[in-house]
Structure 1
Amino acid sequence: MQRLSARFLSALATIGALVLSGCGTEAGAPGGEEASLSAVGTIPAKKVMQLTRVHGETGMTLLEGPVFGESGDLFVVDVTAPEGKPKVIRVDLAKKTSRAFHTDGEGAYTSAQFSPYDGRLYLSDFAHGEVVSLAPEGGDARTFFSGEVDGARMNPDDIAFDQQGNLYVSDSRGLSEGAAHGRVVRIDREGAEATVLAEDLAAPNGISFDADHRGLWFSELTENRISYLRLDAKGGVTSRHTAVRVNGGIAQTDSIAVDADGNLYQGLHGRAAMAVYDRHGERLATVELPPRAEGLESATNVAITPGGTKAYMTVSGPAGGYLYTFEALAKGIRQSNGG
């Protein structure tokens, strides 16, 4: 077994505690009158394939950040993969085969998305407070952003690009202490300037532009709520409000995707399901796995085929890491492809 650094194991423990227990923090804030997750329409999901098994070195596996490349292949990150194991996996969905796309030492990558500016694949490294990028066909790893933002290092979780290629990051700083020190950070497309757009957040996780690129949706893991930031033409915040309260029980709000109709697909930590809302906050459906699917505890994220409605959801737990598929309510766009 390879030796893993204390810093890397600490980062994995923070992530893994949520994965394996489904909680590890206080329940979401009171308020809201939403029904339970099963009290609305159900969208059935079907198993596509298994991608990973629990790693002996880290004691877990966690798939995240599914994103389609130009070839039509799906790229997925394994957050808790140890050194030498695939940290980014390339999946040929037609053939149902997968292969390693990228590995390195101690990176703990929690999201992936292709930039509209330079076409490279960007990865958020939760453990080291960095955003790195790879060439579209792999290799040529570069550090896009590293260091402090307003005097504090980030724990970058999910990412989203605007149409000009500027990057927006959910910074889960404070997650391990259970403190509301999280932020939403904007990094210009050159990686030179970072600006805090929102702060004092409870472990922000999912982040996605709305269908018109007028604002950002972001979720807070330890408050089980989804908020909305209205932005101006220069990426500045003009308003912010809590938009949806998710009554998830032991499950917590993870990543967010948005389809062409503006519907939100909210991933869940602690339950292998996904809640679907319209842009006005109305619960539309719950994406559910078959009852026989055992050992799967989290449905973290989803990618919807660009221009189509076939959706691919990353699902993980003691049984391993899997891809499941379902029919989305509307077509896939950039906002439902990675992040």
Structure 2
Amino acid sequence: MALTGCSTGTGEVAGDKAVATGAGRTIRAHEVMQLTETHDKTGMTLLEGPTFGENGGLFVVDATAPAGEPKVMRVDVEKGTSRPVHTDDRGAYTSAQFSPHDGRLYLTDYAHGEVVSLAPDGSDPRTFFSGEVVGARMHPDDIAFDERGDLYVSDSRGLSEGDAHGRVVRIERDGEKATVLADKLAATNGISFDADYRGLWISELTRNRISYLRLDEMGGAASHHTAVRVDGGIARTDSIAVDADGNLYQALHGRPAMAVYDRHGERLATVEVPARTEGLESATNVAITPGGTTAYVTVSGPSGGYVYTFDALAEGIRQSNGG
């Protein structure tokens, strides 16, 4: 299941403040709360897709939760409490996003190649999109919405084979038409619009690189190039978020950390869970408070699923709100 790297400079942390000592700095994340434990039926837990609802609740999915256990949760980050929002007997949800078109919560079901939606309270589940796209069923991982509510989905095909069959798929907001914008990608994972909605940042999990897909006025692909090569070591590039200054927050699968770059590819910082923390292996995604700089990152491993917090480099916008 699709569920970065090393700084060119070194960083030190004095108290709770990040100190720049080279090409990048280290930002220390702090634990907010534990949300899940390893599930007996699946042997793991993997939190994903943190996204803020209109009333301020932080919605999180557990991609490996079995039937009957919460697959979507709402977290009160101020009180450090959570409550279940949705479960079912089949979905393996790897992302969550609220649509600017209808206000519903959209989830990618990686295992079944579907996109489903829920009312904000978890009721009224609907299948938004299912079936093949240009002759192949998707493995949808993350979602980005444009301003009118069309979906841009990272299709992580080829992950198990290690081949470059991944795609970026655009689905119109009524769910009726799907178009492939880019293909021959290596297990497409993270996807986020840039700050101006001019293009998409895309991470390729099995090649540890971030690509940039510039869009034309109709939402189609105008150009595509490799933008950042991530030195991840044992970690791989997972989800991506973008703040108001256009900075990229690249989550790392295989390391509880995030690499932060500016839009020109310069490494600005590394967000780290404290080194003394045991049993946490991946930081999958982040949501930055809309209009604020408090960020919440989902972190998972054998010790369970957690939410950590840190101070982002700039304010949160829709593009830094899960996906």
Q: Which residue of 1 aligns with 2:123?
A: 139
Indicate yes or no: 2:258 matched with 1:274.
Answer: yes
Specify the SS of the correspondent of 1:76.
strand
Specify the SS of the correspondent of 2:224.
strand
Q: Is the 8 A contact 1:34 1:246 kept in 2?
A: no
Indicate yes or no: 2:317 matched with 1:333.
Answer: yes
Question: Quick one: distance in 1 between partners of 2:193 and 2:9?
Answer: 26
In the superposition, relative to structure 1, how do residues 36 and 255 fare at CA in structure 2: closer, same or farther (>3 Å)? Answer: farther
Q: Which residue of 2 aligns with 1:115?
A: 99
What is the Cα-based RMSD across aligned positions, in Å?
1.6
Question: Quick one: distance in 2 between partners of 1:271 and 1:51?
Answer: 19
Q: Which residue of 2 aligns with 1:79?
A: 63
1:50-129 matches, within 5 Å, as 50-129=34-113
Indicate yes or no: 2:162 matched with 1:164.
Answer: no
Q: Which residue of 1 aligns with 2:220?
A: 236
**Counterpart pick for 1:294 among 263, 266, 278:** 278
Residue deviations 1:112-137 (CA, integer Å, cap 9, x gap): 00000000000000000000000122
Shift of 1:36: 7.4
Q: Is the 8 A contact 1:37 1:247 kept in 2?
A: no
Specify the SS of the correspondent of 1:335.
helix
Residue deviations 1:67-91 (CA, integer Å, cap 9, x gap): 0001111000000000000000110
**Counterpart pick for 2:8 among 31, 35, 42:** 35
How many residues are matched? 312
Question: Quick one: distance in 2 between partners of 1:211 and 1:153?
Answer: 30
Question: Quick one: distance in 1 between partners of 2:156 and 2:10?
Answer: 25
Question: Quick one: distance in 1 between partners of 2:271 and 2:229?
Answer: 18
Specify the SS of the correspondent of 2:319.
helix
Q: Is the 8 A contact 1:65 1:302 kept in 2?
A: yes
In the superposition, relative to structure 1, how do residues 251 and 37 fare at CA in structure 2: closer, same or farther (>3 Å)? Answer: farther
Q: Is the 8 A contact 1:36 1:247 kept in 2?
A: no
> What letter matches 2:275 in structure 1?
P
Shift of 1:138: 1.6
Q: Which residue of 2 aligns with 1:198?
A: 182
Question: Quick one: distance in 2 between partners of 1:62 and 1:34?
Answer: 26
**Unaligned 5+ runs, structure 2:** 12-22
Shift of 1:35: 2.8
Question: Quick one: distance in 1 between partners of 2:227 and 2:33?
Answer: 35
Q: Which residue of 2 aligns with 1:304?
A: 288
Q: Which residue of 2 aligns with 1:47?
A: 31
Question: Quick one: distance in 2 between partners of 1:42 and 1:292?
Answer: 15
Question: Quick one: distance in 1 between partners of 2:238 and 2:122?
Answer: 27
Q: Which residue of 1 aligns with 2:16?
A: none
**Unaligned 5+ runs, structure 1:** 1-13, 23-27
Shift of 1:37: 8.5
> What letter matches 1:313 in structure 2?
V
Q: Is the 8 A contact 2:9 2:25 kept in 1?
A: no
Question: Quick one: distance in 1 between partners of 2:243 and 2:127?
Answer: 30
Residue deviations 1:23-42 (CA, integer Å, cap 9, x gap): xxxxx9xxxx9737977300
**Counterpart pick for 1:249 among 233, 240, 255:** 233
Q: Is the 8 A contact 2:7 2:24 kept in 1?
A: no
> What letter matches 2:322 in structure 1?
G
Identity of aligned residues (%): 77
> What letter matches 2:218 in structure 1?
K
Q: Which has the higher strand share?
A: 2
Q: Post-superposition, which runs of at least 4 consecutive aligned residues in structure 1 deviate over 6 A?
A: 36-39
Question: Quick one: distance in 1 between partners of 2:179 and 2:207?
Answer: 24
Q: Which has the higher helix share?
A: 1
Question: Quick one: distance in 1 between partners of 2:224 and 2:9?
Answer: 26
> What letter matches 1:49 in structure 2?
M
Q: Is the 8 A contact 2:299 2:308 kept in 1?
A: yes
> What TM-score, normalized to structure 1?
0.90
Q: Which residue of 2 aligns with 1:178?
A: 162
